């Protein structure tokens, strides 16, 4: 199949954006940069020909476990490690969050795989920017505008996840806050949105957002298929569909044999399946 990608950068896309919308996207808009942009994080380029698989762990119990996971996913072809997305529950021990982040940072350095750290507070930005290769903003912080402005002043790529109740326009405008501050290395992260469908626990994976954002913006887009996927057996099909829709990467979660997340064996099997889809789309893994 003929590739849609040349020299690692997506071809120009003809798009029609309403004038009132285009006027709001001064940095993010496709009208200003018809060729898709590529975000660099060390030797990693997000937005080019290569698809990037980012993996987090459902829970970590030791530094050794973090190293083992980093080795496993890198050997399977994954590009990056990420700490898990911590839910806003007051009973979560903040010390555990810091321990898991430290374990992954050390594992990433030991194995030679980049690490993505979630930023939850402005006071942590400077520290994490020195340690991690990429910073991530969760969906619940997507409209924390002071946090976004502060990230705009950092020299670190930022992954910005869409809030589950946010519109696509609100999501893109949130990226504007970061880029307006001077940080042009932004990756948009799609995920599940709130819906009325009880079968998927009132959350629906919005694959159409990938297509829409590719038309509206020049920024790379990845898809988060972690905790918001209610049915484990859906992950494989959703991952393939996201690649077919044009995603530049996927976020997956690996854990024990709990039936809630991919096991190590399930992850390896999925990676083999995704390579077939990537090849058919003219992408690499």
Please say whether the beta carbons of 47 and 13 come within 8 A: no
Q: Which two tokens stand for residue 17?
A: 């954006």
The reported pLDDT for the residue numbered 22 is 53
For residue range 159-186, what is the model confidence (pLDDT) as tens digits?
Answer: 999 999 999 999 999 999 999 999 999 9
Given a cut of 80, is residue 3 above it in pLDDT?
no
- Token couple for 61: 């119990």
- With beta carbons less than 8 A apart as the criterion, state whether 146 and 174 touch: no
In the prediction, which pLDDT does 5 show?
Answer: 45
Task: Report yes or no: 175 and 160 within 8 Å, Cβ to Cβ.
Answer: yes
- Find all residues with CB under 8 Å of 205, minimum gap 6, and list them: 191, 192, 223, 225, 228, 229, 234, 238
Per-residue pLDDT tens over the stretch 88-144: 666 666 677 788 889 999 999 999 999 999 998 899 899 999 999 999 999 999 999
Neighbours of 70 (CB within 10 A): 26
Residue 40: HSE in the Cβ half-sphere, 13 Å Cα cutoff: 4
Which one has a higher pLDDT value, 89 or 190? 190
- Does the pLDDT at position 8 exceed 90? no
Please state, in angstroms and rounded to a whole number, the distance separating the CA atoms of residues 263 and 146. 38
What mean pLDDT comes out for the span 63-85?
90
Model confidence, pTM: 0.88
Greatest Cα pair distance in the chain: 54
Name the token pair of 109.
């350095």
d(CA 246, CA 230): 23
Q: How far apart are CA 38 and CA 19, in angstroms?
A: 25
Q: b or e along 264-273 (b: 16 or more beta carbons within 10 Å of the residue's beta carbon)?
A: bebbbebbee
């Amino acid at each position: 199949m003929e590739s849609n990608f040349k020299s690692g950068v997506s071809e120009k896309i003809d798009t029609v954006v309403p004038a009132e919308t285009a006027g709001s996207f001064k940095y993010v808009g496709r009208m200003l940069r018809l060729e898709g942009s590529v975000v660099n994080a060390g030797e990693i380029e997000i937005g080019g020909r290569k698809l990037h698989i980012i993996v987090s762990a459902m829970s970590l119990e030791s530094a050794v476990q973090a190293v083992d996971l980093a080795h496993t996913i890198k050997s399977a072809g994954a590009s990056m490690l990420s700490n898990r997305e911590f839910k806003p529950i007051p009973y979560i021990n903040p010390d555990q969050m810091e321990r898991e982040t430290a374990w992954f940072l050390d594992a990433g350095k030991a194995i030679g795989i980049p690490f993505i750290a979630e930023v939850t507070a402005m006071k942590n930005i400077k520290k994490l920017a020195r340690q991690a290769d990429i910073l991530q903003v969760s969906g619940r912080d997507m409209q924390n505008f002071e946090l976004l402005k502060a990230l705009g002043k950092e020299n670190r790529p930022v992954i910005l996840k869409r809030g589950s109740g946010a519109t696509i326009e609100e999501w893109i405008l949130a990226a504007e806050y970061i880029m307006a501050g001077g940080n042009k290395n932004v990756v948009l992260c799609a995920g599940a949105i709130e819906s009325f469908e009880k079968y998927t626990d009132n959350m629906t994976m919005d694959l159409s957002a990938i297509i829409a954002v590719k038309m509206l913006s020049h920024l790379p887009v990845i898809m988060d298929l972690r905790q918001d996927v209610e049915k484990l057996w859906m992950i494989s099909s959703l991952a393939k569909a996201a690649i077919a829709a044009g995603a530049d990467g996927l976020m997956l979660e690996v854990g024990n044999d709990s039936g809630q997340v991919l096991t190590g064996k399930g992850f390896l099997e999925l990676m083999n399946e995704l390579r077939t889809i990537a090849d058919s789309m003219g992408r690499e893994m």
